[in-house]
Structures are given as structure tokens and as C-alpha cells.
A = this chain, B = another copy of it.
Amino acid sequence: MIPDTVFADLALVLDKRVTRSKSDLEQHGRSEAWHPDTPPDAVAYPKTTQEVSAIVKICHANDIPIIGWGTGTSLEGQTSAIHGGLIVDFTQMNKILQVNDSDMDAIVQPGVTREQLNIELRTSGLMFPVDPGANASLGGMAMTRASGTTAVKYGTMADNVIGLEVVLADGTVIKTGTRARKSSAGYDLTKLFVGSEGTLGLVTELTMRLHGQPEKILAGVCSFDDIDSAVNTVMLAIQMGIPMARIEFLDVSAVQAVNSYAGSEFPLKPHLFVECHGSDTGVESQIETLSELIDDFGGSPLEWASKPEDRNALWTMRHNAYYACLALKKGCVSVITDICVPISNLAEAVVETAEDIEKSFLDGPILGHVGDGNFHAVLLIEPDNAEDLAEAKRLADLMAKRALRFGGTVTGEHGIGIGKKHFMAQEHGDAAWDTMGALKTALDPKNIMNPGKLVR
């Protein structure tokens, strides 16, 4: 609970931009996935770093939990106010502060979304490629170490955030990183905060690495007779070093979901969605090698979407695949898995997962960014159905154990939040997880920054 006197102090800083209105609290209590609603006690809409610092100081003095909020599209309950407190919504800190064309970087506020940045960059010849599907905020994407369809070529948020401004738990403001391409000047604080899910501080500014818009883009789809062939094609393509920009897998159930949601007519077979970026000759040579591989594994010839509008339609379908999966079963919610394994174990991991789901009474379309070894089963459950939830958790647990057996991770890109916390000790071992806990305690001794998430 936030006492009235503390709320009054916050209002002295933010005036009407801190609120306890029912609609604001409800809106910020919702989660994209199966996690129960947990409205905060209040919601703040700061406009400046100074305001963020001021309200964090007030919360620090009064032991009020603080949870950052971008677009609310995280999938593991990262923004759930499980201990109540103040949600700091960054929607009004959405300015692009600098674009440095010649250094290929940009400085932005955390509420800027990836699409907003790309619209700004449209005429610059540059782009920001990290693409988790949702039009998430860059602050939120940094905090979950998001990635998505293009990570196979351009890396994740870990590779593309080069500096931060952070408000620490006591309200102190620090800057991390530089605009140089590399540095050996001490601990890499930027990389520590990226992926920290708001448990170490609130990000108020980000320096992003940008990339040149490719001279040529070509996207296409192909289908295979079985999962094995599709995934083995990807494994070999990666091992051969074909620099694909996107290579996405959809199983039959995911294809079915996309067809019925988007009105497409893909054959009911496992599919790969592919995109290549490069020079004219570079893209041609990628496609040639890839086509041979697809053919070797009995895949259908690539159908090209060379026009921008066709390409956009294709990736919109892929981006909406999560909602398409949800639409398979009316009123359902999802338990989303997110394992990532070494490439050489990918086919085995996907096939075993498909077999588990086949044997289960739940539906669970499989899709993922297989070029990274990362895939998701979207396990569909009725809300408040304990049996469904237990079965989904059993399947998710099998997948997590499989990932760890192969030397992989329980989450490639969605993060831990509250949904995957029980896997942390299994993945890292108690001592390493405790090490994370020690870092958290060092920077946030009062445990007010997104308490209950990620660490023990």
C-alpha cells in the first residue's frame, strides 16, 4: 500500500501524472500471458530523468516497490505488482534524443518503441533491427534482453544497447557505457543492467547501435514433410555460415493458426519463413546455397515475397502468430515456453517437444527463431483450469530440463519475471543464482526495485 502522505509527495513531483484511478491500476495490472492480474497501488507517468529520480527517492525513503512499465508486452509477469507499489509508466518519456548517422547510433528515452525509432530512421539509410514481434518499448526490450526474428544476424538487445542512463534504487543517476565501439574501462555495467528486468534500477535513456538498411531484402517461405527436415535445414544453414537475417520455424499447428487468423493458405506442413539481407550479389548467393539445402531435405521450392508489401504481410503474419495461436481455442490463455539450445541439438529438442505435446491433451503450436536455437511452444489453457495449468507446467518443465540437458537455457528471450523463477537454480546452480542475489542486494539493499522477480 502507498500511504496517502507518500502519494501526496509523489503528486508534488508529478501533479496529475501520478494516479490511483481504477482504470489506470487495472490496465497496469494485466499480463499478456497466464499470470493473474495484480494491479499496483499507483501509476506514475514521468517526463524526465529528474522526475524519475525524485519519485524513486520518495519510494526509497518509504519502502515502496517500484516497477517499470514500457508497453506491457512482457510474457513472464515482469511488470506484475506482486508486492503492490508504484508502476512507473514510461509512455511519456518517448523522445528520440539524438541520431548519429555517421557513428550509427541513437540516444533514446525508454518509452520509444522499436517501430517509432525505425520510422524516424526511414530516410537515414539506417535501421534498428531487433524485432521481438510486439511493438515493444526499447526500455522494456532492454530490460528483458529481448531479441526475436532478426537476432540470428543482428544480435539481441545485449548486442545492440551500448550505453544507458539508470536511476538506481536510492534515486542516484548514473551513466554506463560510451559511444565508442569497445571499451575495457571496468565492469560492463551496461550489460549488467540489460536483462535485469528492472530489479537493479530504472533505465531513463538508452544508446542504441544502429545498422545500415540492406541494399536488397528477399523473403520467402517453404514447407517440409516433417519437423526434422525443416530444422535440419536450419542447422546446416547456420553451420555453413549462411548469413540469413531471419529464419523462422512454424509447425503444422502454428501454420493452421496463422491460416485461420490471417486468411493465408499455407499447406498444413512444417514451414520455414526466411529473409536474406545484403548486396544484390550477396543475397543471390545466400539464396542459391539455401535453396540447395532446402532441396536436399525435401523441402518445397522457396516462394518469394520480393515486393515490400508482400514481405510485410508475411512478417505481420509471423508477428501475429502468438495471437493466432491464442485464437485457436476461444477464451484461452497461454503458458509460453522459450527454450534455446545449441544448434547441434536443435532438431532433437524440437522433435522431442513435439512428441510430448502430441501425447498431451493440450494444444501447443511450436514456432521459433530456430537460427538461434530458440523456439516456443504456446501451450493453450483455459483460464482458471487447474488441470490445464498443471499439464502446461509439466510440459514446460520437460522442455526446460531438455534445454538444460543440451547445455542450453530455459529462456532465450522472454526473461524470468515470476514465470520462470523456479528454473533459475536449475539453470545456474544455487551458488551462481546466489551471486546474482548478492549483486541485487548490493545495488538495492531495501529490495524496492521490482521485488520478487528474477532473484531469490
Q: A interface vs B, CB < 8 Å?
A: 100, 102-105, 144-147, 151, 156, 158-159, 168, 172-176, 178-189, 191-192, 194-196, 200, 212, 235, 239, 241, 279, 281-282, 285, 338, 340-344, 372-374, 403, 406-416, 420, 423-424, 427-429, 431-433, 435-436, 438-439, 441-443, 454-455
B416 touches A182 (CB 8 A): no
Q: Which of B156, B168, B184 contacts A413 (CB 8 A)?
A: B184
Q: Say whether B184 contacts A145, CB under 8 Å.
A: yes
Q: A179-B407, A180-B340 are in contact. List 14 more A-B contacts (CB 8 A).
A: A102-B239, A105-B342, A145-B183, A168-B435, A174-B435, A178-B407, A181-B374, A182-B372, A184-B409, A184-B412, A185-B416, A186-B455, A188-B192, A281-B281
Across the interface, which residues of B come within 8 angstroms of A181, CB to CB? 151, 340, 342-343, 372-374
Cα of A145 to Cα of B181 in the assembled complex, Å: 13
Determine whether the beta carbon of B175 is less than 8 Å from that of A428. yes
Q: Give chain B residues whose Cβ lies under 8 Å from the Cβ of A285.
A: 279, 281
Whether the pair B416, A186 counts as a contact (CB closer than 8 A) is yes
Is A431 a contact of B174 with CB atoms below 8 Å? yes
In-complex Cβ contact of A239 among B104, B175, B194 (8 A):
B104
**Cβ of A298 to closest chain B Cβ, rounded Å:** 21
Counting from the closest, the 7 A-B pairs by CB-CB distance are A442-B442, A183-B409, A191-B191, A179-B407, A174-B432, A102-B344, A180-B408
Cα distance A341–B415 in the bound complex, in angstroms: 33
Chain B residues contacting A151 (CB-CB under 8 Å) are 181-182
In the assembled complex, the Cα of A273 lies from the Cα of B316 at a distance in Å of 45
Q: Are A342 and B103 in contact (CB under 8 A)?
A: yes
Q: How far is the CA of A305 from the CA of B432 in the complex (A)?
A: 48
The answer to whether A438 and B442 have CB atoms under 8 Å apart is yes
Contacts of A442 in B (CB 8 A): 438-439, 441-442
17 contacts between A and B (CB under 8 A): A102-B239, A102-B343, A145-B188, A151-B182, A156-B182, A172-B431, A174-B429, A180-B342, A180-B372, A184-B411, A184-B412, A185-B411, A185-B416, A187-B195, A189-B432, A282-B282, A438-B443
A183/B439 in contact, CB under 8 A: no
Closest CB of chain B to A142's CB: distance in Å? 11
Q: Which of A100, A192, A341, A455 has the most CB of B within 10 A?
A: A192
Complex contact A144–B102 (CB within 8 A): no
In whole Å, how far is A447's beta carbon from the nearest beta carbon of chain B?
Answer: 14
Contact in complex: B176, A432 (CB < 8 Å): yes
Q: Once bound together, how far apart are the Cα atoms of A159 and B241, in whole Å?
A: 17
Asked if A428 meets B186 with Cβ closer than 8 Å, knowing A282-B282, A340-B181, the reply is: yes
The 8 Å CB contact of A184, one of B186, B195, B373, is B195
- In the bound complex, do residue A439 and residue B187 qualify as a contact, i.e. CB atoms below 8 Å apart? yes
- Given the contacts A178-B427, A408-B178, A435-B168, A454 and B186 also touching, CB distance less than 8 Å: yes
Q: How far is the CB of A70 from chain B (nearest CB, A)?
A: 15
Cross-chain contact B374 with A182 (CB below 8 angstroms): yes
Q: Which residues of B contact A409 (CB under 8 A)?
A: 178, 180, 182-185
Which chain B residues lie closer than 8 Å to A338 at the CB level?
A: 184
- Report B-chain residues with C-beta under 8 Å of the C-beta of A372: 180-182
| Cα separation A146 to B182 with both chains bound (whole Å) | 10
Q: What is the minimal beta-carbon distance from A24 to any residue of chain B, in angstroms?
A: 28
Known contacts A195-B188, A435-B443; decide if A183 and B241 are in contact (CB<8 Å). no
Contact in complex: A410, B102 (CB < 8 Å): no
Residues of chain B within 8 A of A212, CB atoms compared: 241
CA distance A438 to B424 in the complex (A): 24
Distance in angstroms from A187 CB to nearest chain B CB is: 5
Q: Are B435 and A185 in contact (CB under 8 A)?
A: no
